[in-house]
Amino acid sequence: MGDPPPPPLPPAPDRTLRKQLSDMSSPSPVQIREANAHLAALHRRVADLEQKLEAAEITLREQAESLIRKDEHLRAATQEITENKDREISYLHEKLCQSEESIQKLQHTVKEKDSLIGQLQHRCQLLDNICKSRPLLDSMLAQMAEVERMGPVTELGNVTADTSLTDGESNCSPCGLSNHKDFSLSDDDLDDPELEGVMFGTTV
């Protein structure tokens, strides 16, 4: 008998691995469609997110620009209000100074008017006294005129002339007021102390 034939050799390991890899790298049509659908959905999602991101960036940029414009507007309004207030304060300060100056002038004028009123009141009082003394002055002038009409006094009539005068008229002399018809009172006469004595009912 001869020797039995040797058993067949097992396939090489590298060939088995290559076959498995070949089976794995060849997806089925279903897997391909699912993968394509997944990629399309992912692409749409990415595009949608990009659009939202761009819209958000535009919105943020517009909001930032709007805030900048509002800030500039508020700054300009604040500056204008400040300038208006400063001008108003300056105007009011000037008016206050003018009012204080006017008050001082008016106070000075009031003092002058008070002084003038005092002088006029004094003159009114003097005129009042003159009016009250007018009957006495008229009586004195009438008696003095009568004395002038009597002419010079003789020795025989000395006693009669002396006794005809009252005690209050005995010291009167017709020489001082000879022109009684032209008698008048001026401002200077009002300040005459002798005339003031007459106005208060006293004789000269």
DSSP helix, strand, coil percent of the chain (3-state; round to 5): 75, 0, 25
Q: Residue 162 above 90 pLDDT? A: no
Measured over the CA atoms of residue 99, residue 102, residue 106 and residue 112, the dihedral's sign is: positive
Percent share of the chain, pLDDT over 90: 45
pLDDT band at 168 (very low <50, low <70, confident <90, very high): very low
Q: How high does pLDDT run on average in the chain?
A: 76
What residue segments make up the domains of the chain, in order of their start?
31-105
Give the predicted TM-score (pTM) of the model: 0.38
More confident of the two residues 148 and 85: 85
Amino acid at 143: Q
Based on C-alpha coordinates, what's the Rg of the chain? 68
| For residues 79-96, average pLDDT | 96
Q: Report the pLDDT value the prediction gives residue 5, as an integer from 0 to 100.
A: 61
Within 29-85, strands assigned E span: none
> How many Å is the maximal CA-CA distance in the chain?
236
**21/13 Cα distance (integer angstroms):** 13
Q: Report the pLDDT value the prediction gives residue 166, as an integer from 0 to 100.
A: 45
Q: Residue 2 above 90 pLDDT? A: no
Q: Report the pLDDT value the prediction gives residue 19, as an integer from 0 to 100.
A: 59
Q: Is 129 exposed, middle or buried (0-12, 13-18, 19+ CB in 10 A)?
A: middle
Residues 6+ apart with CB under 8 A from 150: 161
Q: Residue 116 above 80 pLDDT? A: yes
| For residues 104-123, average pLDDT | 95
Q: Residue 89 above 50 pLDDT? A: yes
Q: Report the pLDDT value the prediction gives residue 32, as an integer from 0 to 100.
A: 87
Q: Cα angle vertex 86, ends 83, 92, to 5°?
A: 140
Which DSSP letter does residue 180 get?
G
Q: Which of 80-84, 104-108, 137-141 has the lowest mean pLDDT?
A: 137-141
CB 174 within 8 A of CB 148: yes
Quick: pLDDT tens for 55-84: 999 999 999 999 999 999 999 999 999 999
pLDDT band at 199 (very low <50, low <70, confident <90, very high): very low
